[in-house]
Structures are given as structure tokens and as C-alpha cells.
Amino acid sequence: MSDLETMPAEVIPDVDVDVETEEPSVAHIVKVGPGESAAAKVLEARINGTPIEALCGHVWVPARDPKQLPVCQACKETYDMYKIFNDGLRDSPGD
């Protein structure tokens, strides 16, 4: 019998490889699942340095306060579409 060694499975996150590293020009709306908090997800990503995905598909590692930037138009349009089909969503994600 040969010496066969089984290695543990490697989990690779399903995100784009191109992560934004320069200063952001717009603030993106974070993509979250049911019951998830966008604020908690951003905080966790800032602490761990892990990338997160926006509604527009943009992937980045949050590093600064986005309140001083204009909202990404593609994210806003996607959020507005979700709002039409889902009762109970706020007028804007930050409300």
C-alpha cells in the first residue's frame, strides 16, 4: 500500500480578484442576505481586511467613512428596484 496523504479542503471565497485599492470615488451599497446587517458586514470587513461586494457587483475592502462620497448610481438603481418588489425596505439603505 502506498503512503497517500489527504490534505484538508481549501475554501476559496467567491469574489472577483480585482479588489479596489485606490481611494474610492463613490460610496457603494453593500450586498447582504436576509437577516444580515450591512453595518455589521462592513465593520467585520474593515477589521479583518476582507473584501465585500456591492449591489452593483463592485468588490472592495472598506477602509474609510463613505458618508462623504456620493452614492454609486448603479447601486442606487439596484436598491430602488429591490424596493419596488419588496415591501418594508427603507427609502434609502442608510435610513
| pLDDT at residue 89 in the model | 64
Report residue 46's pLDDT band, with 50, 70 and 90 as the boundaries: very high
* Confidence check: pLDDT of 22 > 70: no
CB atoms within 10 A of CB 3: 4
Residue 52 to residue 19: CA distance in whole angstroms: 9
Pure H helices in the chain: 38-48, 73-85
In single-letter form, the type of residue at position 55 comes to L
State the residue for C-alpha cell 463613505.
66
* Confidence check: pLDDT of 41 > 80: yes
Choice between 49 and 13, residue whose per-residue pLDDT is larger: 49
State the residue for C-alpha cell 472577483.
16
| pLDDT at residue 64 in the model | 81
Choice between 23 and 32, residue whose per-residue pLDDT is larger: 32
Report residue 59's pLDDT band, with 50, 70 and 90 as the boundaries: very high
Please report the sign of the dihedral spanned by the C-alpha atoms of residue 48, residue 30, residue 25, residue 71.
Answer: negative
State the residue for C-alpha cell 450591512.
38
Question: Which of 17, 93, 94, 11 minimizes the C-alpha distance to 59?
Answer: 17
Look over the chain and give the mean of its residue pLDDT values, rounded to a whole number: 80
